[in-house]
Structure 1
Amino acid sequence: MDTNKMREQFEVAYAAKSTARNGRFYPAVLTRGDDGEYVIPSVQSAWWAWQASREAVVVEMPSRASEAYREYFDDVEGGSFNEAAYIRDVRKAIEAQGVKCK
């Protein structure tokens, strides 16, 4: 994922959590210095944790070449690819990492 997109998601989530906690949010807490890091250490730590949590998610996709996705029919030479079964297994692999599929 693009770092800018990830930072945007982080800031929206941080603002939402802060608002839910105190009933208000001060955008200045998300101020960044010239180096791009947040000025407030606790916000910078939260940003680091957010990035680390995203990097930890790695989904091993099932192999499309697997025999498990081949269907054989009398009238189809060499069989055909069962895309529905493949998509089902891709979804399972993604959700096994705690990521929601829509």
Structure 2
Amino acid sequence: MDTNKMRDISREQFEARYPVPEGACWNAEQGRYVLFHLKLCTVAKYERFVENWVCWQDSREAVVVELPPKWNDATHSNKQAWDCGIDDARMAIEAQGLKVAP
């Protein structure tokens, strides 16, 4: 899965858990949260939110799932099912914004 897509998924999950404070928003060009209205959001509240985001990203970076290898015996009848299962597991893990070891 595309790294940017994984970041977007992770950010969506983060925002579901920690709503973006009023007066702040995600800036896609800069790739970060920005404070745009000081009357709606204090600097302290914004900084606390950004600290949560940094911790969230670090926690996701720390998780790397290692899957078993694909079947190495091409003559075995379960090879296709095994390999499809590995591919499905990889897609499901990456859909949660986590990494899978190659």
TM-score, structure 1 length as denominator?
Answer: 0.47
Higher RCO (C-alpha 8 Å, min separation 6): 2
Structure number with bigger Rg: 1
TM-score, with length taken from structure 2: 0.47
